[in-house]
Amino acid sequence: MHIVYSDRYQVDIGAHVFPMAKYARVRDELVARGLIDPSALVSPAPAAWDDLALVHSGEYLEKTRSGGFRASELALLELPWSPAVAEAFRLMAGGTIAAARLAVEAGAGLRRQADCAAGAGRPLAAAANLGGGFHHAFPSHGEGFCLYNDIAVAIRVLQRDGTISRAAVVDVDVHQGNGTAFVFDRDPSVFTFSIHQEHNYPHVKPRGSLDVGLPDGTGDREYLLALEGALPDVLAGRPDLIVYVAGADPFLEDQLGGLCLSHDGLRGRDFLALSSSRDAGIPVVIVFAGGYARRIEDTTAIHVATIEEAIRLGA
Ligand SMILES: [Zn+2]
C-alpha cells in the first residue's frame, strides 16, 4: 500500500489539544513494526492554489496565505495562524490528493489482473495519507482545527482531471463532517456519510447524504451495528473512490468525544469499512482526522491499527 507522509506535517501550534506529534509517532510505529518501509513513503507536494480553489473561495485562500484573519475568525478556526501553519495544512492537502490518486491507480491495477477473483477473495485497493481529514473546513471559513478541506479538494481535483466521476466519503470521526456535507450539498456525484456523536461539536450539522447521530456513551456493539447497517447505502451508488475519514476520537478516553469505543471496537470499525469497500471493488483513500486521547499513545495506536487493517486486507 502506498503511504504518503512528510515530517513537515508537524508544525508548532503552541499548547493545544490537537496532538501534532501524532503524525511522526504513527510513522515511527509503522516502521518499528515492519508494516512499512521508510524508503517507500511518498513525499507530497503542497496542494496547488488552483486545486484548493476548486473548493475554497479566493478571498478565504488569500486570508490563509497572508494571515489577514479577524480575531473572531481565528477563534472559530481554533488554530494560531503563521506562514508555517498554513504551509503544513497545504502540504497535508497535497498529501490527500496524492494518496487519492494512488488509491485509484491501485484499483485500476487490480482490475487489470484478469485472474482477480470477485468478491471476498480480492485484495483491498487502498492508499493512505498519514494526516489530513480536515472535515470542518468550509469554502469560505475554517473551523475546528481545519484550515483546508483536503477531503473535498482531493475529490474535486480527481473529478476535474477525469480520474473519477463519483466519490463517497465515509466519515467515522466522532464529530460530524459539517464542512464536507456543506461542500457537496445537492451534488449527486458525491455521497457524504457521517457516523458521529449527535450531541457534540459541530452544533449546527448541515445534512449530508446520510448522517447517523449516535447517543452519548455508545459502545462497540451498538456502534458496529449502526455502521454495518449504513454501509450498503454508501456503496449502492457505486462510487469510483471512497475517502475514509478515520478519526481516532470515538475512543472511550478521548477528551473531545463522548462515545465509548474500545481499541478492539475501533479495529472492528476499520475492518467493516475497509472490507465492505474491498468486497465492492472500490478503492479507498485513508485520512486521519481527529484524535485527542488523554494518552497520545492511544491515539497513535488507533491510527496504526487502521493502517494495519488495510494491509491485512491486502492493500
Ligand atoms: Zn473529531
Length of the chain: 315
Q: Kindly give the distance from the C-alpha atom of residue 115 to the centroid of ligand 1, in angstroms, as a whole number.
A: 40
| CA 162 / ligand 1 centre spacing (Å) | 31
Secondary structure class of 242 (helix, strand, coil): strand
The residue written with cell numbers 461539536 in the block is 201
- Rounded to the nearest angstrom, the distance between the alpha carbon of 175 and the centre of ligand 1 is 4
pLDDT in tens, 286-312: 999 999 999 999 999 999 999 999 999
- Report the separation in Å between the CA atom of 192 and the middle of ligand 1, taken as the mean of its atom positions: 16
Q: How confident is the model at residue 241 (pLDDT cuts 50, 70, 90)?
A: very high
Q: How far is the CA of 291 from the centre of ligand 1 (A)?
A: 6
Interacting residues of 207 by C-beta distance below 8 A, sequence separation 6+: 181, 185
State in Å: Cα 122 to ligand 1 middle.
Answer: 32
User: What distance in Å separates the CA atoms of residue 315 and residue 312, rounded to the nearest whole number?
Assistant: 7
Parallel, antiparallel or unpaired: strands 126-129 and 167-171: unpaired
Residue 133 C-alpha to ligand 1 middle, in angstroms?
9
pLDDT of residue 45: 98
Ligand 1 center–CA 127 separation, angstroms: 21
122: pLDDT strictly greater than 90? no
pLDDT in tens, 263-286: 999 999 999 999 999 999 999 999
Give yes or no for residue 315 having a pLDDT over 60: yes
Nearest to 124 by CA among 285, 283, 288: 283
CA of 187 to the centre of ligand 1 (A): 24
User: Which pLDDT value is given to residue 30?
Assistant: 98
**CA–CA distance, 219 with 32 (Å, rounded to integer):** 31
In our burial notation (b when 16+ CB lie closer than 10 A, e otherwise), range 238-271 reads ebbbbbbbbbbbbbbebebbbbbbeeebbbbbbb
Query: What would the mean pLDDT of 216-221 be, rounded to a whole number?
Result: 98
Out of 89-98, 116-125, 149-158, which region has the weakest mean confidence (pLDDT)? 116-125
Residue 118 predicted with pLDDT over 70? no
Please report the DSSP string for 280-291 in residue order.
HT--EEEE----
pLDDT digits (tens, 9 = 90+) for 144-197: 999 999 999 999 999 999 999 999 999 999 999 999 999 999 999 999 999 999
Phi-psi region of 6 (alpha: psi -120 to 50; beta: other; left: phi over 0): beta
Ligand 1 mean position, distance from CA 109 (Å): 33
Ligand 1 centroid to 44 CA: how many Å?
Answer: 24
Give the percent of the chain with pLDDT over 70.
97
Cα of 113 vs centre of ligand 1, distance in Å, is: 38
How confident is residue 95, by pLDDT bands cut at 50, 70 and 90?
very high
